[in-house]
Amino acid sequence: MNINIRNEEVKDYRRVEEVAREAFWNLYFPGCHEHFVIHKMRNHKDFIRDLAFVIEVDNQIAGGIFYTHSKIVSEDNKEYKTISFGPVFISPKFHRKGLGRELITHSIQVAKEMGYLAILTLGYPYHYEPYGFLGGKKYNISMPDKKFYKGLLVLPLYEGALDDIKGYADFSDVFEVMEEEVEAFDQLFPPKEKKYQESQDEYEAAASLLED
């Protein structure tokens, strides 16, 4: 298996959207939004082109990771620039081969070299703790409702990066999409059945879990 990680190029756009759609379909709710979010993200002010990566297996795109600008807003309204990744995905046919780990590890290393403060992301703790992410409470970082959720995960990119910073995470508005926009975009792809699966219950339960 010949594996290669490189920056996304214009020629990859359609294939990346197809793989993302395949990876997320019915995962969190019937259907998915992620392929449209990626499509919209590329022309958004918060998009970080240098941190958009694809992973190839034998010259075939098997997954991708995308970063946007985010920030921590303190109680006195000071803003600290951070970055966030998502969507991150691997084609279902390449699951369990360590490709996601390679992609995430590579992107974190590049983000460190670029001098960013910290990465904030939303997800399952068990997915991201192996990379050093910890719940926001550890760093005094909440969601905008001032609550500490288990799904808000934080990784400082250098020693002491988040010392003396306290506030809430503010993510890019690129993730806010209208159902009609997604539906219209989805018409450009082969039909796929939207349906319930168990992972949707897990996601819904996890989304509201607070840190102890």
- For 162-168, what is the mean pLDDT? 96
**Mean of pLDDT over the chain:** 96
- Position 209 scores a pLDDT of 93
- For 175-195, what is the mean pLDDT? 97
Question: Per residue in 31-85, pLDDT tens?
Answer: 999 999 999 999 999 999 999 999 999 999 999 999 999 999 999 999 999 999 9
- Position 32 scores a pLDDT of 97
Using CA atoms, how far apart are residues 179 and 11, in angstroms rounded to an integer?
Answer: 27
In this structure, are residues 112 and 157 in contact, taking their beta carbons and an 8 Å threshold? yes
pTM for the complete prediction? Answer: 0.96
- For 87-101, what is the mean pLDDT? 96
User: Which residues 6+ apart lie within 8 Å of 91 measured at CB?
Assistant: 19, 22, 23, 61, 62, 63
- For 149-154, what is the mean pLDDT? 96
pLDDT score of 205 more than 90: no
Q: Which fold has domain 3-172?
A: Aminopeptidase (3.40.630)
- For 135-164, what is the mean pLDDT? 96
* HSE of 84, CA atoms in CB hemisphere, 13 A: 24
Question: Per residue in 108-148, pLDDT tens?
Answer: 999 999 999 999 999 999 999 999 999 999 999 999 999 99
Phi and psi torsions of 153, nearest 5° = -120, 140
Which of 208 and 57 is assigned the larger pLDDT? 57
Q: Give the model's confidence band at 207: pLDDT under 50 very low, under 70 low, under 90 confident, else very high.
A: confident
Burial of 177 per CB tally in 10 Å (0-12, 13-18, 19+): middle
In this structure, are residues 51 and 121 in contact, taking their beta carbons and an 8 Å threshold? no
- Return the closest-CA partner of residue 89 out of 35, 26, 155: 35
Phi and psi torsions of 126, nearest 5° = -65, -20
- Return the closest-CA partner of residue 63 out of 85, 92, 36: 92
- Position 66 scores a pLDDT of 98
Which of 184 and 1 is assigned the larger pLDDT? 184
